[in-house]
Copies of this chain bind each other. A is one copy, B any other.
């Protein structure tokens, strides 16, 4: 299946491509849905892939849902999905702290309910969830109570993010032995109609700027989410594809993990973006293939019957 990069998948090529794949890793937002609406044809594609014996996993940088919450949303939009097929950054952050960092202490959490639930399910004590109302002045903030058992700061999406939380993170991170983990660095959360709100990356940059430190990032383009799939479920890299809408996260991760990559144009990145990276020699951000929508792969599946 050697091919020049950034090739449109269609017709016979599409049929051969699907036949060469056993495992499909899907990003979700911008690929399978936008906001709360499924991409037309995407549920049919995913369900058809599974009917044909392909394995499907969902890899998302979004930290606002647990595995169970993602499986529920997938089901509601028409995708058959089990929690064990979902690898989001809420879950993978908890796995990282438990299995890789072997954290012996508490987490100071800038993050929401899903992160708290996944940390709890992994047996990791944590504090910080929910509102942290502004009180006091400069001297109080510099002397804010610190739990001596906190050995890590985790930054995920948190709509309660404010100056108090930023300050608490700084006070913990002044200890160089305190771990500093970010779920992801996506700058915006895209919503329906081209609208967007600030993403986790904004909170991460604020804390990094205060702490004079860089966070270790769990999400794509880092490979940790992929490593979690490999460890828990196993896969044959040469028969696996990463399908995503972002060149700087999904495609870059797929390239660096040595699997094939497929860009779908229903989300963040455009074909022009990909061609531009190709021209500048940034090959790791150029997908092997692209489609207008993942639904374009449906005919390749039904043709296999004929």
Contact = CB atoms under 8 A, between A and B. Distances in A.
Interface stretch (A79-87, A90-98, A119-127, A155-163): A155-163
| Range of interface residues on A (Cβ < 8 Å) | 35 or more
Contacts of A198: 163, 166-167, 170, 206, 209-210
A35 B138 CA distance: 9
A254 interface: no
Given A138-B189, A191-B138, A210 B202 contact: yes
A30 interface: no
A139 interface: yes
Nearest to A208: B205
Interface in A145-195: 158-163, 166-167, 170, 187-189, 191-192, 195
A3 interface: no
This chain: copies in complex: 2
A134 interface: yes
Nearest to A144: B197
A202 B209 contact: yes
B210 A188 contact: yes
A139 B36 CA distance: 10
Contacts of A199: 210
Nearest to A132: B162
Interface of A: 35, 131, 134, 138-139, 141-143, 158-163, 166-167, 170, 187-189, 191-192, 195-199, 201-203, 205-210, 212
27 contacts: A35-B138, A131-B134, A134-B160, A138-B197, A139-B191, A142-B195, A159-B163, A160-B162, A160-B163, A161-B162, A161-B163, A162-B162, A162-B163, A163-B198, A166-B198, A166-B202, A167-B198, A187-B209, A187-B210, A198-B206, A201-B209, A202-B207, A202-B210, A203-B206, A205-B206, A205-B209, A206-B206
